[in-house]
Amino acid sequence: MPTKLFLLLLLTAFSVQTQAKETPADNYKAYCVQCHGNEGTGKGVNSRDMSVVPRDHTDAKSMSGRSDETLFKAIKEGGPSIDKSILMPPWGSTLSDEEIKDLVQHLRMLCKCKFG
């Protein structure tokens, strides 16, 4: 009987962990809005004290000029990895590759642009 109880608890814990996965919008709110703003316009609370204006993720023309791979690399490895601002931190040790890919798609939604 204790084995069945253990398995039930294990399955319940796994189910809760699976359901607790953060959405791309949640990750954007947690890691990006401080600089890029709630709407993604580059006007977050930290932006007024920054020497480099954060990218406006709603600017379709600008965002269309960046490939998904470039955005992925910037998020994972930070701004310097794509010759951009040192103020853009690397999130590769915080976010999984899957979460970063989902975040890139969230950025595409913010600017209403498609790119492969």
pLDDT (tens digit, 9 = 90+) per residue, 61-111? 999 999 999 999 999 999 999 999 999 999 999 999 999 999 999 999 999
The CATH class for the domain spanning 22-111 reads mainly alpha
Q: Where are the domains of the chain?
A: 22-111
- Angle (CA) 31-32-37 rounded to 5° is 140
pLDDT (tens digit, 9 = 90+) per residue, 35-64? 999 999 999 999 999 999 999 999 999 999
H or E element, residue 49: none
Look up the pTM and report it. Answer: 0.79
Measured distance CA(34)–CA(40) in Å, rounded: 10
Q: Write the DSSP symbol of residue 85.
A: -
